[in-house]
Chains A and B, each alone.
Chain A
Amino acid sequence: MKKLTFTDLLITIMVGVVFGILMKFWDDLYTAIKPVLPVARQLLYGMWFMNGVFAFLLIRKPGVALIASIAGAGLSAFIGHGLGVLIYGAAQGLAAELLFAAFRYRKFSIPFAGLAGVASCAASFGLDLIYGYADLETWALIVKYGLRAVSAFIFTGVFAVLVIRALEATGVTNSIRPVAKEEYSLLDR
Chain B
Amino acid sequence: MPAWFTPERMTWLFRVNPALKFAVFLLLLFITLFNRNLPLAAWLAVLSAILLYGFSGYSAKKLALLSIPIALSFASSFITMALFGKGDTVLWQWGIFKISEESIRHGLLLGTKSLSFGFTGFAFLLTVEPVLFFYAMMQQFRLPSKYAYSFIASIRLLPVIAEEIQVRSNALKVRGITFSRGVRGVGERIRSYTVPLFAQSIRRAQRIAIAMEAKQYQMGAARTYFYSTSYSRHDAIFLAVMAVSVAAVFWLSFGVPY
Contacts and interface: CB of A to CB of B under 8 A. Distances in A.
Interface of A: 5-7, 9-18, 21-22, 25, 34-35, 43-44, 58, 67, 71, 74-75, 77-78, 80-84, 86-87, 127, 130-133, 135-137, 140, 154, 158-159, 162-163, 166-167, 170, 172-173, 175-176
B33 A130 contact: yes
14 contacts: A6-B146, A12-B150, A13-B150, A21-B158, A22-B165, A22-B194, A71-B154, A78-B125, A82-B122, A137-B86, A159-B191, A162-B191, A163-B195, A172-B202
B202 A82 contact: no
Given A17-B154, A82-B121, A176-B206, 9 more contacts: A7-B213, A14-B153, A58-B202, A83-B26, A87-B29, A132-B106, A137-B84, A159-B191, A170-B195
Contact of A17 (B69, B106, B158, B212): B158
A contact patch SS: helix
Interface in B164-179: 165
Interface of B: 25-26, 29-30, 33-34, 36, 69, 76-77, 81, 84-86, 96, 98, 106, 109-110, 113, 117-118, 120-122, 124-125, 130, 146-147, 150-151, 153-155, 157-158, 161-162, 165, 183, 186-187, 190-191, 193-195, 197-199, 201-206, 208-210, 212-213, 217, 219
Contact of B151 (A25, A74, A127): A74
A21 B162 contact: yes
B206 A7 contact: yes
A81 B53 CA distance: 18
A132 B36 contact: yes
Contacts of B147: 9, 13, 67
B199 A172 contact: yes
A154 B185 CA distance: 13
A172 B25 contact: no
Contacts of A170: 195, 199
B11 to A, nearest CB: 19
Contact of B154 (A14, A83, A87, A127): A14
B118 to A, nearest CB: 6
Q: Which 7 A-B pairs have the closest CB atoms?
A: A82-B121, A14-B205, A7-B209, A17-B154, A13-B150, A84-B117, A140-B84
Given A135-B86, A163-B191, A130 B155 contact: no
B198 A167 contact: yes
A84 B77 contact: no
A10 B193 CA distance: 21
A10 to B, nearest CB: 4
Nearest to A155: B190
Given A10-B208, A82-B121, A137-B98, A127 B85 contact: no
Contact of A6 (B118, B121, B154, B212): B212
